[in-house]
Amino acid sequence: MWTDASSRPQVVVTGSSAGIGRAIAEALLAAGWRVTGLDIADPSIEHAGFHHLSVNLGHGEDIARVGPQLLAAEALVHAAGVLRVGPLGALDHAGGELMWRLHVDAATRLADAVVPAMAARGHGRVVFIGSRVAQGMPGRGQYAATKAALLALARSWAAEVAAQGVTVNVVSPAATQTAMLNDPARAGSAPRLPPIGRLIQPGEIAALVAYLLSPQAAAITGQDIAICGGSSLPK
């Protein structure tokens, strides 16, 4: 598609060192994008088109530090995330604050840094990785609230920049097979297996994200698209 590396479009992918973020970064590299990965963890991808920036996405000042390096990006995919659980009466307030900073505040700061430049150029793509849990789930209220906030941001911003050729969408997976499933912080809150009888695979999410970043998806904006394995079907 592109004749040389310099002509390839740039996409910013958060959480690129593991899980869904890494799968997305790898899929986009294979599709010919130049990927700038933002993660506090060391890079796990070796590719000529991949550039890693060490960033603590929970700290606004750290995002501001790298912001000037992202202005040429034609797409932003915010996939970084954590899960903290707890019922009423035993909520993890520190964990709730962390999830808000990482899921919502980071999305806000990154979009504020790069989307105006996309709109000025007349083209851009933004995808937030949400969650089916945004619909509500016992013991995960704080997590659900942050993912629901991403939907509100996406719909609001999609309306702002649709006429400038920029799309903003959310991809909301059900339980996905990543290391997050084994995180001790979610002990006592087992994932719910989708009706298809297996967990969602990161590569399936990456394939949808790649499509949403493509020219063929120019008419899709302000949407919450579920990859749920049947979890959203009537029961």
Active site residues: 143
**SS (HEC) of the chain:** CCCCHHHCCEEEEECCCCHHHHHHHHHHHHCCCEEEEEECCCCCCCCCCEEEEECCCCCHHHHHHHHHHHCCCCEEEECCCCCCCCCCCCCCHHHHHHHHHHHHHHHHHHHHHHHHHHHHHCCEEEEEECCHHHHCCCCCHHHHHHHHHHHHHHHHHHHHHHHHCEEEEEEEECCECCHHHHCHHHCCCCCCCCCCCCCECHHHHHHHHHHHCCHHHCCCCCCEEEECCCCCCCC
